[in-house]
Amino acid sequence: MDPFNITISIEEGKIDLNIHPQEAGTYKIVYHGGLVGEIFMGNGGENWEAITAEELEPGGFPVYEYDETSGHQDILLDSATVQEIGKEITRVEMGLN
């Protein structure tokens, strides 16, 4: 599958993310050209789980570093954000966007 874009809502507002599908059902999450992390459906298939960019091999992507002067959001892959990203990935995969 080719990379695609999603928009999610977090407390600070809406943000656009670029999703890069990988082998074995994982997805690299890119924000303003920097790798935020990777998400995948956890064991049991009910909840999405995440690995931060610092725990991954970036694979050609620079790691996203928050700069408060940039006007970009500080994205944390907390449980709520990960589930929101996963929900939007599922919508795209099912053709619901």
83: enclosing H helix or E strand: helix 79-93
Identify the pLDDT of residue 71: 66
Q: pLDDT at residue 25 above 90?
A: no
Residue 26 tokens read as 């994982």
For 48-93, the pLDDT digits (tens) are 999 998 888 767 788 887 666 666 677 778 889 999 999 999 999 8
Residue 25 has a CB neighbour count (10 Å cut-off) of: 10
For the chain, give every domain's residue range: 4-93
What percentage of the chain reaches a pLDDT higher than 70? 89
Return the closest-CA partner of residue 48 out of 78, 11, 7, 3.
78
The residues facing 38 across adjacent strands are 28, 51
Identify the pLDDT of residue 69: 66
